[in-house]
Amino acid sequence: MYTLLESWMDRIWDAPLGYVSILTGLLATLIILFKLTSHTDIPYICNLPEIPGALPIFGHLLQLGDDHATVCEKWWRQYGHSVFQIRLGNTRAVVVNSFADCKKMLVSNSQALIDRPTLYTFHGVISSTKGFTIGSSPWDDSCRNKRKAASTTLSKAMMKNYYPMFDLESYCILRDLHRDSKTGSVEVSIRPYIQRYALNTTLTLCYGIRMDEVYDTLLREILNVGSAISLLRSASENYQDYIPILRYIPNNEKTARSKELRGRRDIYLDLLLNKVREMIKTGTDKPCISAAILKDQETRLTGVEVGSICLSLVSGGFETIPGTLVSCIGSLSTPAGQAFQERAYEDIRKHYPDLKEAWATEFEKEKVPYLNAIVKEAGRYYTVSSMSLPRKTVSDVHWNGAVIPAKTMVLINAQAGNHDVEYFGPDAGTFNPERWLDEISEKAFEEKASPGLDHLSFGAGSRSCPGAIIASKLIYSALFRLLSLYKIEASESNPPNTDYVEYNAIKSALVAIPRDFNRGGEERTRDFYKE
Ligand code: HEM
């Protein structure tokens, strides 16, 4: 049959030589253009599936949309590969989805995955004045020292020193909820109280400073700037990180916004450090990281490194803890969550018949199995950092016949792994604290033995979250006091969204920002509550 292609070939054959050369030139230019616009930092990785449909220049960025975790989870199911490669503009990335593969990638290749990629907007613009946070630092001696100092401050052994802080900050949640909800009769949004709780904790550790007012101006400025910067760290918000030509667009909005936020952040970081300097002068400083360094008790770290540690701890806690705790309170306050609350309360009473005494001295001891189970389930179900923090390989990683070369970006889809039905069972998509418990007799619970890595929300391996211990303690302490005092109920007019994807109001942010909701509920007792 005389096809269209054959007719074209005939015409070219019959055409004068000049036309043939023009057509060949055009074709060659098109091929070169396609190659140039599809070029990636790391060449195609053989024996590792690539998701189809990558476009020149953009790669898979447009298909990924705002919610990378959910789209990658869908691709895993659609194409049947838990580990695959994609293209973010000019950057090749390997995405890991199932729980077993995420664990194997992070734990078995711990040293090979110790690095973090550097990105134009976050590293080149926002961090140009105060250095990188630990979570965004490439691996070098300075990062090793900063991580070591942070891990020491946040270690299990140090927790007993922070008891007064846990006491004061968790007490303030209840004190102000009692006041603002008019003893439980008015519905309130709990998020601002929890944000202050998380931020005051890290500010106390770093600067020995706290703010008593929920709507303190400085406290809200730190939270607003931090959330806005979290947006500028995600791939979906920053095409210019992966498509370099976009950086040269005049009046680049992203760069201008980054500079504005950098300026605002520098102001409050300097203010906090100057306050510590003043307190040292007047002898009123509190034990904290920056005072210790400013007084030269610790000489290994430079001023920029100290600033970076403080910035890492402050930004590490202020959205992750509220994201997890507020969403968990949302799940507990629904009609289905009432049963969990009741059982948690009974378990608290079972372990502490004298609740008044426990409220004062045992609230942070993490001894009530049911509460520990709620903390774990909150971490798993609400994966606040859905794509974790990006990693970069420092050496080859051998993966089922493929060789992922050094300097490749690796993205851990913690949201997909945390809801993997093959690992967590058919109810992986349901909030159920009891998956972590054995009911040994009626209403008596025992925690199941931990398999080592409960879930992926804190990462794993060489760059896992050093704040995991203090985070669990903070969530436990707040829940202990809150559930001892209140029966929390969701508002009917403004209830929580408890879907593990949809609870997040801004899916493109690096850390989830839960949709706001109101809660009400009756107070159980105030016998043991100190005014
Ligand atoms: C629910 C609370 C939290 C969650 C879900 C969380 C999650 C994470 C995740 C996913 C990572 C990256 C892990 C990896 O690459 O494997 C990380 C790193 C980090 N987190 Fe957390 N975090 C939480 C609380 C905190 C707190 C309270 C602090 C500090 C006070 C903190 C400080 C850090 C630091 C400094 C890093 C960087 C570690 C490194 O790159 O070496 N985090 N966190």
Task: Retrieve residue 14's tokens.
Answer: 């019959």
Q: At 385, phi and psi to the nearest 5?
A: -110, 80
Using only the alpha carbons of the chain, give its radius of gyration.
26
**Residue 509: CA count within 13 A, CB half-sphere:** 22
Does the Cβ of 469 fall within 6 Å of ligand 1? Answer: no
Q: Whose CA is nearest to atom 38 of ligand 1?
A: 135
Which residues fall within 8 angstroms of residue 74, CB to CB, at 6 or more apart? none
Three-class HEC string of 297-309 = CCCCCCHHHHHHH
Distance from C-alpha of 112 to C-alpha of 283, rounded to nearest angstrom: 46
Task: From 374, 368, 476, 377, select the one nearest 425 (Cα to Cα).
Answer: 377
User: Quick one: the chain helix, strand, coil %, rounded to 5?
Assistant: 55, 10, 35
Task: From 71, 79, 69, 39, select the one nearest 57 (Cα to Cα).
Answer: 39
Which residues fall within 8 angstroms of residue 426, CB to CB, at 6 or more apart? none
**Å from CA of 449 to ligand 1 middle:** 24
Longest Cα–Cα distance of the chain, Å, equals: 100
**Å from CA of 264 to ligand 1 middle:** 23
Q: Which ranges of 181-302 would DSSP assign to H, the alpha helix?
A: 191-207, 217-231, 253-282, 289-294
H helix or E strand, kind and range, residue 522 = strand 518-523
Tracing tokens 């307190």 back to the chain, one arrives at 279
Tracing tokens 């493929």 back to the chain, one arrives at 402
User: According to the model, what pLDDT value does residue 219 have?
Assistant: 92
**Å from CA of 465 to ligand 1 middle:** 4
Does the Cβ of 464 fall within 6 Å of ligand 1? Answer: yes
Distance from C-alpha of 297 to C-alpha of 131, rounded to nearest angstrom: 22
Phi-psi region of 402 (alpha: psi -120 to 50; beta: other; left: phi over 0): beta
User: According to the model, what pLDDT value does residue 246 have?
Assistant: 84
Among 107, 134, 465, which residue has the most ligand 1 atoms within 8 Å of its CB, making it the best to mutate? 465
Does the Cβ of 458 fall within 6 Å of ligand 1? Answer: yes
Which residues fall within 8 angstroms of residue 440, CB to CB, at 6 or more apart? 446
**Å from CA of 491 to ligand 1 middle:** 32
Q: Whose CA is nearest to atom 40 of ligand 1?
A: 135
Does the Cβ of 417 fall within 6 Å of ligand 1? Answer: no
User: According to the model, what pLDDT value does residue 126 have?
Assistant: 67
Does the Cβ of 150 fall within 6 Å of ligand 1? Answer: yes
Find the distance separating the first CA and the last CA of the chain, reported in whole Å: 93
Is this prediction's pTM over 0.80? yes
SS3 437: strand
Does the Cβ of 459 fall within 6 Å of ligand 1? Answer: yes
Does the Cβ of 151 fall within 6 Å of ligand 1? Answer: no
Contact of 416 with 72, CB cutoff 8 Å:
yes
**Å from CA of 199 to ligand 1 middle:** 14
Distance from C-alpha of 359 to C-alpha of 362, rounded to nearest angstrom: 6
Mean pLDDT by 10 residues, the chain (531 residues): 62 70 84 77 96 95 95 98 97 98 98 93 68 87 91 91 93 90 80 94 93 93 88 77 84 80 89 90 87 68 83 88 95 94 94 88 93 98 96 98 98 98 97 94 87 96 96 96 89 88 87 76 57 43
Among 458, 475, 513, which residue has the most ligand 1 atoms within 8 Å of its CB, making it the best to mutate? 458
Task: From 269, 274, 236, select the one nearest 509 (Cα to Cα).
Answer: 236
Task: Retrieve residue 74's tokens.
Answer: 């869908």
